[in-house]
Amino acid sequence: LGESAEFESVRQQHSLLAPSNVGWGRRDFEALPLSVVGGRPLSSGGASLERHARMYSSLWGVRGAEESAAVIAKHVRAAPPGAATVMLAHNGPSGLGSARDDICGKDWGGGGGGDWGDEDLRLALSDVTGVL
């Protein structure tokens, strides 16, 4: 992780969770065989990548949806051959609808609605599957 003191509490949390953290990473469970690939850490959906751009750049060196998608896709491709791969992310990918009752639609707050999925996750999944 980067050196910015501004995000020290995030750095501490990451250090505590490091052995089990899969955010922008992968854990392989060879006995199953299973790989768990993590989406963007600390995502809160919607435009959170842009809202927290300084934190992602400072701590992880990732600067935008395309870079994030490339990191996620790299870990999917590096999973051991024959292993089932599971994506673990706080949100689903963008592009699955914007109505309150859509899978990643905003269903809270006044008015509701809006696609609250992660664009970087959509790009990564599209890259490795050709879907979305």
pLDDT in tens, 9-68: 888 888 888 888 899 999 999 999 999 999 999 898 888 888 889 889 988 889 999 999
Q: pTM surpassing 0.85? A: yes
Q: What is the pLDDT of residues 58-100, one digit of tens each?
A: 888 899 999 999 999 999 999 999 999 999 999 999 999 999 8
The four Cα atoms 69, 70, 75, 78 give a dihedral, to 10 degrees, of 140
Radius of gyration of the chain (CA): 15
Q: What is the pLDDT of residue 15?
A: 83
Phi, psi of 129 (to 5 degrees): -120, -20
Taking the C-alpha atoms of residue 18 and residue 20, their distance in angstroms, rounded to an integer, is: 5
Measured between alpha carbons, how far is residue 81 from residues 27, 109, 126 in Å? Answer: 14, 44, 20
